[in-house]
Amino acid sequence: MSPFEGCPGSRIMDLRKPETTEEYATGAVTPSQLRQWPIQLHLVSPAAPYFQGADVLLAADCTAFAVGGFHNDFLKGKSLAIACPKLDEGQEEYVEKIRDLIDEAKINTLTTVIMQVPCCRGLVALAEEAASRSSRKVPIKAVVVSLQGDVLSEDWL
């Protein structure tokens, strides 16, 4: 399927742009750090150009709403995939997709950002399972944020 076929919401779009523009330099506008579309883990393609050799952020759906500076604190310079380990179905597909990011896209790092709630830990478990099935080793970082958006822990796994 070409990037221009199918549902427009699933179409691959590379949104990367130059880091500095005059508009953003004034501080009047906080720029989005989103570099691609789609972002939902079921919809992303490990073959997309923005995943090749990238630093990847795997974020629980709620984290961007809890962390006020999510874009600058976590997303800047990274390609993104989001998922909810409690509500999303087909999580075995998630393991395979993350494994493909590691083995086929040859990502540099994988950072998971999750909420402090117990169900969110499943996202880290999915990343660890995918890493255990992959032929390459990549550094994996687990970041846990509070319901108020504070970083509670950051650990390399």
Q: What is the pLDDT of residue 54?
A: 98
**Hey, which CATH number is domain 8-156, 3.40.525, 2.40.160, 3.40.1360, 1.25.40?**
3.40.1360
- Kindly give the confidence (pLDDT) of every residue in the chain, 157 residues in length, as a single tens digit, with 9 standing for 90 and above: 454 456 766 788 887 776 655 555 566 678 999 999 999 999 999 999 999 999 999 999 999 999 999 999 999 999 999 999 999 999 999 999 999 999 999 999 999 999 999 999 999 999 999 999 999 999 999 999 999 999 999 999 9
C-beta neighbour count of 8 within 10 angstroms: 9
DSSP-assigned letter for residue 136: S
Token pair 């880091």 is found at 19
Q: Which residue has the tokens 């099935």?
A: 133
What's the chain's average pLDDT?
Answer: 91
**Computed from CA positions of residues 79, 87, 126, 41, in that sequence, does the dihedral angle turn out positive or negative?**
negative
Question: 76-94: string of b/e by CB count within 10 Å (b at 16+)?
Answer: eebbbbbbbbeebeebeeb
With a pLDDT cut of 90, the percent of the chain lying above it is 80
N-term to C-term CA, the chain: 36
List helix spans (H) across 26-90.
Answer: 63-66, 70
Over residues 68-94, the pLDDT tens digits come to: 999 999 999 999 999 999 999 999 999
Domain boundaries, the chain: 8-156
Matching residue, tokens 């999303």: 88
38 upstream amide cis, omega within 30 of 0: yes
